[in-house]
Structure 1
Amino acid sequence: MVATAAASPVLETTLPGRTQGTGSRILAIGDTVTTFMSVYGGATSGTTLDLHYAPGVSEPRGSFVEYDRMVYPLAYNGYLSDLHTFGSLRGEAANDDAWDEGVILPLLARNVLFASNNGRTFSVDFAPLFPQAAALTDLSPDMARIEGLAEAMAANLLKSPYLADTHGTALAAPVLDIRDLSGLTAAQLSPYSAPAIRALAWEIILKANNLTGSSIPADWSNLNPAAAARFFHAPGLTLSTGTRDMEPLNIYSQLTRLKEAKTALEPVDLAATFSDTVLTSLVAPFGLTWPRPTTGAHASFVADWGTDPNALTAPLAPFTLSMAKAVQVHGSFPNLSQGEVFYSGFSLNADKRYVISATITPALAAGSEVLLDLPLLSRSFTFTGSGGALGATTLTVNNTAPIYHPVRIRLRNPAAVQPDVTVTLAFTPSL
């Protein structure tokens, strides 16, 4: 039944296009959302979520949440500067997801993880990276965090590493075992690997519940989802001074949460449980090292461009952008792989006027571009071909100096694989 007015209920199947009533499905969906929020606190990407469901109705993408407001322009209210996020749950007769918590919970988890990226030092709020709901093995570290933790957050609530998409008493798709890494090579176990991160997260869930390595379902039934909940929440600003993040959020950001002191509301002392010795052995099978390396590729996911860059006296080192590990999702490249996204940053002691230029070798193919994002300026610049120079741009120090300017550079071509390019950026002082 659906009540268009409290005093005038109508039979749902008498409405145009409705041949089947929703019955208890809406209540089931709401119950799943409530269960999620009871442990993780929220369920949206930071704004209103319009999650559509109707029996017999499905979108080609199945169940999903769309974060790109350009896909649904009416989702954005320019007058109120308010964005509604749209999503849909599959309701087709052959596969209805209303009762599938293994489908719904990862959607909600991805929302929360995406929201936790917003407003951070290295987030680019005017051009965010959108989760693709694909557990790929070579993602940028911030995307690997989102895609890896989302399904583990669901498993924590379900008290099982198995996520099922069902239809009645049958399976609509193969069961996902978030522990399964059998198809990966050693090189695909790393901080960039969503499957490695979600499998590690399951081991952390078990350890937080004093069930290290247990493969016995009867043991899992005793899991307390609140025990490991903190691990899935973003930390405070990660620089030691507490003034900004030292890098984009990543799996190491989450591991440091296990070292924080127990709060009065937490059922487990995670800091006592996860000693350095325990973490060293726990993370090793997943391509991570603890304590975190202080040198090498995993020491930091940000290149340090120093203070007051000046191409005339200290040119910046070139870097490579690569689509070698890019994978298509829904028919296009999301351009979120480890080699396609490059983070850096520099400090300024005073306002400076720069001519910013890029040299790209070899030249980009048609359809490819390199994006330079400067979040503090809320500006994004696009380079094509062999690069070029931009008009003079003023970078400001709008607070106590020095001010840190984060930088994100991204190679983008959704339609084809762009061969590797070497990029050299130059910040040349201008009068």
Structure 2
Amino acid sequence: MKKIIVVCLLLFYSLASAAAFSGFDAIFSDATEETDSSAKDFSWKGKAEVSLEGFPKGGMLDPAESISFDLEWNTSRVQTSASLSFSNTLQWDELLTDLSLTTFVKNVRIEAGFLTKEWGSGDGVHVVDVPNALDYTNGITDDLLAMKVPEPMVIVSSSWGNTALELLYKPIFTPMKTSMEGRWSLLPATFFAPDGTKATITDSQTSKLSYSQFGSRLSTVWGPSDISFIYFNGYYSQPGYKNLVFDFSDPLHPYVTSVEVQYTKAQLFGTALTVVAGPYTLMFEGGYYLSEDKEGTDPTLYNSKWVYEAGIGMFLFGTSTYGSLMYNGHRTDHFDQVDVLAGDVDAYQAYGGKAYGNTLTAALEIPFARDTLSLRLAGTYQIETKGYAFLPSLQWEISDSLVFTAKGRLFGNVSGDEGNIFKTWDENDSVSIGISFLF
């Protein structure tokens, strides 16, 4: 991965320079050189941020400091950008948060680099958004783009009239990022011994061309509607497990001592629709993930599944307050063949042991004081397990260069003890404050 970042940085510089000066012989006339030189535009901006997050139930404080830079260099033919982030908790592979080079050939747009893209019509939540994996190492937030992992990819797009086509290629596979242990761990409880020792986990090496993926999105505008058709050939982002070795010293509470990680190939056939109806925006997504395990007979691979989503967004009562409500879910094929005792990966991902899972997500954004103060109330509720996450936040733009933020995260169950991610994170309720300086 480190080699890929270095290569991309070199390509970023060399390709941008080459594209700025290459061309036919006529380009090198004095007049043209003067025009190209005047067309160059370099700009940069940065942000320094200090924040403090407290976990009342654990009595812990997590300080965080970060500084980030956004760089842009544009010529008449090429647009280049890079984002770098430095923090006290930074891992080396998190340094580069964006690196892109964009050029145009007639009406064809070509973009390459470490990119973050969003596919789908939903407001903050999607079921057909396949370009990027998500990062759960610090739990969840109400900012989907902030949770996305930048991935190396190439996107070629073109449009004619009201129709546009995007072609996506990802040379390697980047799985979802999770914590293996600690407060945000997503590992099954059976992966830990009674004394808390974690199972030995052997991961797959997915930074290979053999894990390349590709997809396409065809979008068109039809009256008040914006509809798109999506195809993707790649992998489920969540890990699967094989070759589990159990310790049965306590027959009533066996646990895994070692396991190998693998990933399931899958194809997505999906669609997304947005309809503007007066003050309302209606949003729909749906699709089918066709797994390599079509019959659902391999417990180490994820089954095929249907996914769906519907939502509505609107400005309330003619004000600048915006509210949205999203309903999404999935239904797993051949769930009757899922064997919990065999360590079937579909059982680990099931909600309350059911073939289906449905979730409600709502958000309300309320601006105050001429938009310098903004209150956002967001939350999600998992219907089958009655688990919830409440994510309020407040942002105050003190000046053009100074911003104060306060955020909260509250997890739990409305009732019952059904297993779900929010019940697992019940002790992780937190409050954070931060201040950012923009320059």
Task: Report the TM-score range of the alignment, normalised by the length of the smaller protein.
Answer: under 0.3
Indicate the structure with greater strand content.
2
- TM-score normalised by the chain length of structure 1: 0.27
Indicate the structure with greater helix content.
1
